Homo-oligomer: A and B are copies of this chain.
Amino acid sequence: MSVTVDDDLWSAVGDPTRRRMLDLLLSDGGGTATTLSEQLPVTRQAVAKHLGVLDRVGLVHGTPSGRERRYEVDEAQLARAVAQLSSVGATWDARLRRIKQIAEAIQRGQQS
């Protein structure tokens, strides 16, 4: 019952900058390294690296178009990541509830 997640996906979406990039790509309907870097506090090269890892795990897909390279979010893959995210949350939530119940049971046992 361990919390096993696709660590590549998790770490990809675990970086704050990459989360903001996904956010921007979603609200703008795609973009390039340059357009993204203009809306972020990091350089174009940093953004390009992030786009590389996001592309490798399949969260975005980049297609060359003339002198620029346009990236768009792969919604299906992002949905998978979000699902895993909430599954981790659910697992811990359940365990927390279980622990709480055990704790209460022990208290009841002690005071009897």
Question: Which A residues lie at the B interface, using CB under 8 A?
Answer: 2-3, 5, 7, 10-11, 14, 16, 19-20, 22-23, 26-27, 29, 75, 78-79, 82, 85-86, 88-90, 92-93, 95-96, 99-100
Contacts and interface: CB of A to CB of B under 8 A. Distances in A.
Contact of A10 (B16, B20, B27): B16
**Chain multiplicity (copies):** 2
Given A5-B16, A10-B16, 9 more contacts: A3-B19, A10-B14, A14-B14, A19-B88, A75-B99, A85-B86, A85-B89, A85-B92, A86-B93
Nearest to A14: B14
Nearest to A95: B26
A74 to B, nearest CB: 11
